[in-house]
Structure 1
């Protein structure tokens, strides 16, 4: 074999070796790129998951806890009495309001009797604005405790007990949860561990705030404000007898 042929074969072998080396290097680069791509993909997914988790953690708390049976557009109204009653009494009250206690002391017996007879439904709107005008938390905490009583099925009884034991307007006795629980002892079956936890934990505190906001938007600026089938009643000349007469007229009784 001539030297030229040997050189040609050697050159061909060298070219083959070099080509294989280049292919090996390309394959190595491809593997590295795939590895890097996979790592980046994992990091991207992890980042997305992190954002989703953060968004979940940043999501505001769920809906405001609402007492069972509450009605109205914002579910801030506590109804007492049959849903199909021929007359509805709407009452805006604040548990620290002396005039509200006077109204309840005068009309509660008649109102309760008309409810029991199936002639009247009362829709209570619990305000707490006195806490803004007189230092304390009694309006809000009493309203929360009343919502807890609604949860336990004893709203009417506890509502009446609170007004029967209302302190002076400047006395924030209702701001003491233990005092509210003590008063609940006057209602058979109301004081349970669940009720105590509801009162002391302020389970319906946000609902009480929402109820006051609804009162602020109502256009009324004092309590008690009382309406019979949407017509505001002048309380100056109203008596239990005249209220009963008007309710019975509406019922045709």
Structure 2
């Protein structure tokens, strides 16, 4: 065997080994790249889900929560006056009508000292409409309490209720709850920043869920419902359905 032929075979062997090594390196790089892509996609999906649903941060209780932390107090009456509790769901159309007709009367009577008014929000309409709007609206409204505008915010939520309501629709957009309504009720500056952080982090989520559990414990499963000192009222029995008539009916049943 000539040395020239031997050298050619050795050269060919080295070329084949180099080619095989390059292929192995290429496969390894491809596998690593695929893993990196999968990880990045997972991170992106996680971020998008959290952005859509609102990541839950440190929890707070609204400043005007009642002593049991299961209701929000709108205004306190004089000592010895009745406790009026309004149960409502922000996606309940009858609740929106009730707020439009009687919300101002309920508030003014409480501010006049004739009763203490508190609210307990519920979220069962989400099951029917297959969205998250009741909870998000309740979280936003309870966040607005720190800015001192809870009842005004509550009123605007109902005023912007989706009509007609249909399953699988947003109900209330985050933009409406986070930006539009706060501007309408006068939340600005640092108070707006705090409100938006509260909403983005769902900081009152635990409070809202506790309020709803309390509502069911109270035996309430429909909205709107009014109780006076814990006793349910059938407002259909009121002889006069005007705000003044409903006010008197509530006081007569205290």
TM range (shorter): 0.5 to 0.7
Matches of 2:64 and 2:105 in 1, distance apart?
Answer: 23
Can you give the 5+ residue segments of structure 2 that lack an aligned partner in the other structure?
1-56
SS at match of 2:85: strand
Matches of 1:114 and 1:200 in 2, distance apart?
Answer: 34
| 1:189 is aligned to 2:187 | yes
Residue range with higher mean Cα deviation, 139-148 or 121-130: 121-130
Q: What TM-score do you get using the length of structure 2 for normalisation?
A: 0.67
Matches of 1:196 and 1:179 in 2, distance apart?
Answer: 12
| 1:144 is aligned to 2:139 | yes
Contact 1:80 1:156 in 2 (8 A): yes
Higher CA-based Rg:
1
Contact 2:59 2:203 in 1 (8 A): no
Q: How does 1:140-219 map to 2 (within 5 A)?
A: 140-168=135-163, 169-170=165-166, 171-174=169-172, 176-180=173-177, 181-189=179-187, 192-219=192-219
Residues 93 and 152 of structure 1: is their aligned pair in 2 closer, same or farther, counting only changes over 3 Å? same
1:154-181 CA-to-partner distances (Å, cap 9, x unmatched) read 111111111122113334332x222113
Residues 72 and 224 of structure 1: is their aligned pair in 2 closer, same or farther, counting only changes over 3 Å? farther
| 1:68 is aligned to 2:63 | yes
Residues 202 and 63 of structure 1: is their aligned pair in 2 closer, same or farther, counting only changes over 3 Å? closer
Can you give the 5+ residue segments of structure 1 that lack an aligned partner in the other structure?
1-61
1:7-56 CA-to-partner distances (Å, cap 9, x unmatched) read xxxxxxxxxxxxxxxxxxxxxxxxxxxxxxxxxxxxxxxxxxxxxxxxxx
Residues 212 and 226 of structure 1: is their aligned pair in 2 closer, same or farther, counting only changes over 3 Å? same
Query: Deviation at 1:231?
Result: 2.6
1:97-141 CA-to-partner distances (Å, cap 9, x unmatched) read 111111111111211221222212211011111112221110000
Matches of 1:199 and 1:123 in 2, distance apart?
Answer: 21
Matches of 1:64 and 1:155 in 2, distance apart?
Answer: 18
Aligned length: 189
Contact 2:73 2:117 in 1 (8 A): yes
| 1:241 is aligned to 2:244 | yes
Structure 1 residue aligned with 2:97: 102
Structure 2 residue aligned with 1:25: none
Q: What TM-score do you get using the length of structure 1 for normalisation?
A: 0.67
Q: CA RMSD in A?
A: 2.5
Structure 1 residue aligned with 2:112: 117
